Chains A and B, each alone.
Chain A
Amino acid sequence: MDFYLGLLQIMGVHTLLGLSAYVVLLTGQVSLAQAGFMAIGAYVAAMLTVLSGWPLIAALIAGALVAGFMACLVGFPALRVHGLMLVVATLAFTEIVRLFFFNFDYQIARGSIRVGPLGGEGFRQIRYFPENGWTTLHVAIFIWSVVALVMAALWWMDRSRAGAVLRAVGEDEIAAQSCGINLTAVKVSAMTAGGAIAGLAGGIYAHYTTHIEQTNFTIMVATFAIAYPILGGLSSIFGTVAAVVFIQGFLIEGLRFLGDWRNLLFGALIVLVMNIRPSGLLDARTMATLRRLFGRREG
């Protein structure tokens, strides 16, 4: 049972991570900075609960805000570069953040032990959940409540004019400008929102694993973040969720019996899916069919 709950927790955090990249991808920006924002959220939230004794929710929100603020700062220079150059620039950001935490020591004595981040050793003893008597089930429910909240907010945003404007910028920047859209405001907002969601994912991640270190926030994580919405399709947030379940649930856990051969099949299956469903697992047509099945009218 605990195995499945643990899997649910991983999926929850990765869903948030994927959604953070989804928002940014809607505006046509491919960002590998999401792992960096996640690291910032993780360290900030964990330091607040462990070192300053903040309650969890407040610490998570603070982590998300700091990550969002950093994303806003990254958003401005990112406006000047497009496509591959943006990928490289955001990748550099993730690396900078990772190396910062590799060298970051800030420990204080707590009784007989010292707590806090310690460079390459990482940040151990983030024991908010066990100290407050949360079971694995509680944690899984908490994580998915946060995921549900973020999904509801994004789903609503997606159907609003704001969603249409984000997609318009992603499709054609010149036409969007010519409709009076302020590209700077839209792209930086998307980056900020994405950074905040990634920060939230980081804060939750830090607390359920109880131990974080810089190797948890590598380019591999950043690649996963953009892989989910790309594989799932950008027509709806549910594509991202479907992709997380597919990759984390089916490919990574379901193929564990293959041992060392798993990674090979993992890659091959992704290539296969991208070929069979080039615009994602849930593309516009699938969504239209689903909508018809459930008899819903488009607003």
Chain B
Amino acid sequence: MLELQNLSKYFGGVRAVDSLSLKIEPGQIFGLIGPNGSGKSTTVNLITGLLGVTNGSIRLSGEEITRLPTHVRLSSGIARTFQNIRLFGQLTVWQNLWVAENSRAQRERTSFLARWLGGESGARARITKALEFSGLSHKANELAANLAFGEQRRLELARAMAAEPKLLLLDEPAAGMNAEEIGALDERIRQIRDSGITVLLIEHHMELIMAIADRIAVLNFGQKIAEGTPAEVQANPAVREAYLGTAETSTRGTA
């Protein structure tokens, strides 16, 4: 589905992402973890094209997308959510989804007038479905800015889903959520995968990612230090070192 080859991004002398190669198979939940500043969000921004790559290539379903502008990538089958929620606050919940659904309509070559001016019935049905999926049906006419935090997170996910992507990038979707909300999120991400969408999940919440990821890659200082099933990654000494420090440094730290 998604293939990164020797992907690098340097900011001056800082190697935010350093020769990263990943292969995400269709239908997987692929977890990307790592300590703060390890290059996870940069990777997402490289995949979506918000940042230009220094080196390397990105392929989506075998097609080279490394040099395509953001809106082309995002309308051709990638959707994302943001670590810091970025909704259109002064638009209603419905309008937020309506905007995103446009890229689906574009892909299917819906006629210009129906797409921009008409209340196309297919779009209505899809948006209604996305609202039900995220439990926001009763808030459809509310301004997005007036929603509670958890609802805003759900709306952002619904907005990404409204585009009917092949690949969904989730940048820390559980940040700021309580245990109950994380439980619901866990369920929702599984449902998304079961509907045939590949998920790249960036998360700090280990319990969540270990529970639902099919495969995990670990980043540290922009480099991939481990990759495998959740069990393999948890057993990997390099990962323990990256997260906890080595035995020596941690004793030195506490002394």
Q: Could you mark each residue 97-131 of chain B with 1 if its beta carbon is under 8 Å from any beta carbon of chain A, else 0?
A: 01110110010000000011111000100000000
Task: Collect the chain B residues with CB atoms within 8 Å of residue A182's CB.
Answer: 71-72
- Cα–Cα distance between A182 and B87 once the two chains are bound (Å): 17
Asked if B74 and A161 make an inter-chain contact with CB atoms under 8 angstroms apart, the answer reads: no
Judged by a CB distance under 8 angstroms, whether A172 is at the interface is: yes
Distance in angstroms from B115 CB to nearest chain A CB is 7
Asked if B141 and A179 make an inter-chain contact with CB atoms under 8 angstroms apart, the answer reads: no
Distance in angstroms from A70 CB to nearest chain B CB is 24
Q: Spell out A's residues near B (CB within 8 Å).
A: 156-157, 160-162, 164-165, 167-168, 171-172, 174-183, 235, 284, 298-299
Asked if B86 and A180 make an inter-chain contact with CB atoms under 8 angstroms apart, the answer reads: no
Distance in angstroms from A196 CB to nearest chain B CB is 17
A-B contact pairs, 24 of them (CB 8 A): A160-B116, A160-B117, A160-B118, A161-B98, A161-B102, A161-B115, A161-B116, A162-B116, A164-B95, A167-B90, A168-B96, A171-B88, A172-B87, A175-B87, A178-B48, A178-B80, A178-B82, A179-B99, A179-B100, A181-B71, A181-B102, A181-B103, A284-B90, A298-B141
Judged by a CB distance under 8 angstroms, whether B201 is at the interface is: no
Judged by a CB distance under 8 angstroms, whether B185 is at the interface is: no
Task: Collect the chain A residues with CB atoms within 8 Å of residue B71's CB.
Answer: 177, 180-183
Identify which of A178, A183, A298 gathers the most chain B CB atoms within 10 Å of its CB. A178
Judged by a CB distance under 8 angstroms, whether B70 is at the interface is: yes
- Cα–Cα distance between A162 and B48 once the two chains are bound (Å): 24
- Cα–Cα distance between A172 and B82 once the two chains are bound (Å): 12
Judged by a CB distance under 8 angstroms, whether B137 is at the interface is: no
Asked if B117 and A167 make an inter-chain contact with CB atoms under 8 angstroms apart, the answer reads: no
4 new A-B contacts at CB < 8 Å, known A175-B82, A178-B48, A284-B90: A162-B117, A164-B99, A178-B70, A178-B86
Task: Collect the chain A residues with CB atoms within 8 Å of residue B200's CB.
Answer: none
Asked if A164 and B86 make an inter-chain contact with CB atoms under 8 angstroms apart, the answer reads: no
Judged by a CB distance under 8 angstroms, whether B177 is at the interface is: no
Task: Collect the chain B residues with CB atoms within 8 Å of residue A165's CB.
Answer: 99, 102
Distance in angstroms from A138 CB to nearest chain B CB is 33
Identify which of B70, B92, B118 gathers the most chain A CB atoms within 10 Å of its CB. B70
Asked if B102 and A179 make an inter-chain contact with CB atoms under 8 angstroms apart, the answer reads: yes
Task: Collect the chain A residues with CB atoms within 8 Å of residue B163's CB.
Answer: 179-180
Distance in angstroms from B107 CB to nearest chain A CB is 9
Task: Collect the chain A residues with CB atoms within 8 Å of residue B102's CB.
Answer: 161, 165, 179-181
Distance in angstroms from A63 CB to nearest chain B CB is 25
Distance in angstroms from A188 CB to nearest chain B CB is 14
